[in-house]
Structure 1
Amino acid sequence: MTTEARSCAIDLLLGAYRSGEPIEPLTERFPALNVDDAYAIQVGQVQRWLAEGAVIKGHKVGLSSAVMQRQIGVDQPDFGHLTDAMFFLESQPIDWSAFLAPKVEPEIAFVLGKSLAGPGVTVAEAMAAVAFVTPALEIIDSRIRDWKIKLVDTIADNASSGAVVLGSTAVPLAQVDVRLVGGVLHRNGELVGSGAGGAVLGSPLNALVWLANTLGPRGVVLEAGHVVLPGSVTAAVPVTAGDVVTAAFGGLGSVTAKFTKNGGTR
């Protein structure tokens, strides 16, 4: 893929953010698009955001559970960047119209107390770097029309990132076995999903290790204070204006997101 083609893809995706109109799959327009190209396109967008004043506040691991891989039709995880503009306050209004085709995922979020730099990070080192875990809702979104995505489409589109709502409880990692934590997802009071931490690569910690060791060769360090979303314990659930979604995790507490047609609160 040429530099010009990558630049075109970046402009197309950023244009979708501005206009609110999705684009056709990048894999249709750029048949030669590969994983390295896709990550270069993702980073190109992030660099534009940083130039406009955005701040990186963490990363997400996407497609790390079998249920999400089946839902999207891929066989490996990916990662994306989380900026300050993506974080919303729990139980406060979130403007649904700011997204194109939002879906919600329940996750066990890690907040780092120490930096992690791969390659070579072990599970023990990852555990030692975690300050605490908290329930989270990730709002995934796609700038690709109708979610018609292949792996490289979603990678280029910042791993289909949209927004994050963190819970208000902070639980030390030593007090919980994240593999065994069960979670349920309710939308407007109706149970729409359930799962456990072990659905995420066998343990959410494995996703954290994978992320650190994947970013390390790219020169990226997971910083202290940053949030890492390791992946969803259930399939993603679509949401619309007026929906109230709550994820509850055993031993961790719950987190709620409310969607409205009006302005949101970060």
Structure 2
Amino acid sequence: MDVVKRAAGDLIGAYASGRPVDPPTDVYDDLTLDDAYAIQLAQIEEFRAKGARVKGHKVGLTSAAMRRQLGVDQPDYGHLLDSMFHLDAAPIDAGRFLQPRVEPEIAFVLGRPLAGPGVTAAEAAAAVEFALPALEIIDSRVRDWKITLLDTVADNASSGGVVLGTRPVPLDAVDLRLTGCLLYRDGELVDTGAAAAVLGSPLNALVWLANTLGERGVSLEAGHVVLPGAIVAATPVSAGDVVTAEFAGLGTVTANFRGAAC
């Protein structure tokens, strides 16, 4: 069994066992970025073979501080599966995650396909049907979140779950760069920020994603959701927590971990 299959099996096994695994870069020598994306894709293909559907993508490492911390000069991406989506304020089973954290984002819903390379900001904006307030639940299958760029890429960019708000807003009704966000956990303010923290504008993350996927022969599809990156740092959560993000001009969205299933 080659390294890609073995590493993918390790990460998939973390779901079944409920225990995080050692970083792939500690277990397998000389992994490359292409190897890491191959490990990610091997897992996605296995999930698809069992009936899962890809419903979008997420962009990670859009914060300059986080890229400096990991010593990288570009973001990364992961896949969003249908099983990852949760309704606004509906109960979420915290037990399905290993090490969850929540971060606020402005989600894009595409009205038309978007295929790179060569996509411009104008083309990306034209492909967006509307924006929604969103909370991404990130979750590392790597023990203690001890990740490098290659580890998080292999781990599907630490994708865990998505909660979308219910108020669609056209892009021309909001200034993406200046959109502010307040993040609350259990009613207490934990962080504030503006969407300019996402590569200067979340739209730049969409451009990067379309062009990066295009180089790999993949296009973004109409109806798919794109999470362009966190506006503020992720906050850890556990069973019993309720996290709400308020976005200027976009409304609110809530991730509710207080359900009976928790």
**Corresponding residue SS for 2:151:** helix
Q: Deviation at 1:68? A: 4.0
Give the aligned partner of residue 60 of structure 2.
62
1:51-74, Cα deviation, whole Å (9 max, x unpaired): 000011000001112244367665
Give the aligned partner of residue 158 of structure 2.
160
Give the aligned partner of residue 219 of structure 2.
221
Give the whole-Å Cα distance in 1 for the aligned partners of 2:70 and 2:146: 9
The count of corresponding residues between Structure 1 and Structure 2 is 262
Give the aligned partner of residue 38 of structure 1.
36
Q: Structure 2, unaligned stretches of length 5 or more? A: none
Q: Deviation at 1:95? A: 0.6
One-letter amino acid of the structure 2 residue matched with residue 169 of structure 1: R
Give the aligned partner of residue 212 of structure 1.
210
Give the whole-Å Cα distance in 2 for the aligned partners of 1:252 and 1:210: 23
**Moved >4 Å (runs of 4+):** 70-75
Give the aligned partner of residue 186 of structure 1.
184
The answer to whether the 8 Å contact 1:68/1:235 transfers is: no
Give the whole-Å Cα distance in 2 for the aligned partners of 1:192 and 1:60: 23
2:242 to 235, 238, 244: 244
1:139 to 114, 137, 140: 137
**Corresponding residue SS for 2:92:** strand
Task: Give the TM-score taking structure 2 as reference length.
Answer: 0.97
Q: Deviation at 1:263? A: 3.0
**Corresponding residue SS for 1:94:** coil
Mapping for residues 114-133 of structure 1, pairs under 5 Å: 114-133=112-131
Give the whole-Å Cα distance in 2 for the aligned partners of 1:75 and 1:154: 15
Give the whole-Å Cα distance in 2 for the aligned partners of 1:24 and 1:156: 12
Give the aligned partner of residue 254 of structure 1.
252
The answer to whether the 8 Å contact 2:242/2:258 transfers is: no
Give the whole-Å Cα distance in 2 for the aligned partners of 1:150 and 1:54: 27
The answer to whether the 8 Å contact 2:78/2:159 transfers is: yes
* Stretch of structure 1 that moved more, 82-91 or 60-69: 60-69
Give the whole-Å Cα distance in 2 for the aligned partners of 1:236 and 1:67: 13
Give the whole-Å Cα distance in 2 for the aligned partners of 1:175 and 1:219: 33
2:79 to 73, 77, 81: 81
Give the whole-Å Cα distance in 1 for the aligned partners of 2:86 and 2:179: 24
Q: Deviation at 1:76? A: 2.6
Give the whole-Å Cα distance in 2 for the aligned partners of 1:244 and 1:25: 30
Q: Deviation at 1:18? A: 1.3
Q: Deviation at 1:184? A: 1.0
Q: Deviation at 1:170? A: 0.4
1:182-232, Cα deviation, whole Å (9 max, x unpaired): 011000111111111110000000000000000001111100000000000
Q: Structure 1, unaligned stretches of length 5 or more? A: none
The answer to whether the 8 Å contact 1:68/1:236 transfers is: no
Give the aligned partner of residue 22 of structure 1.
20
Give the whole-Å Cα distance in 2 for the aligned partners of 1:78 and 1:220: 15
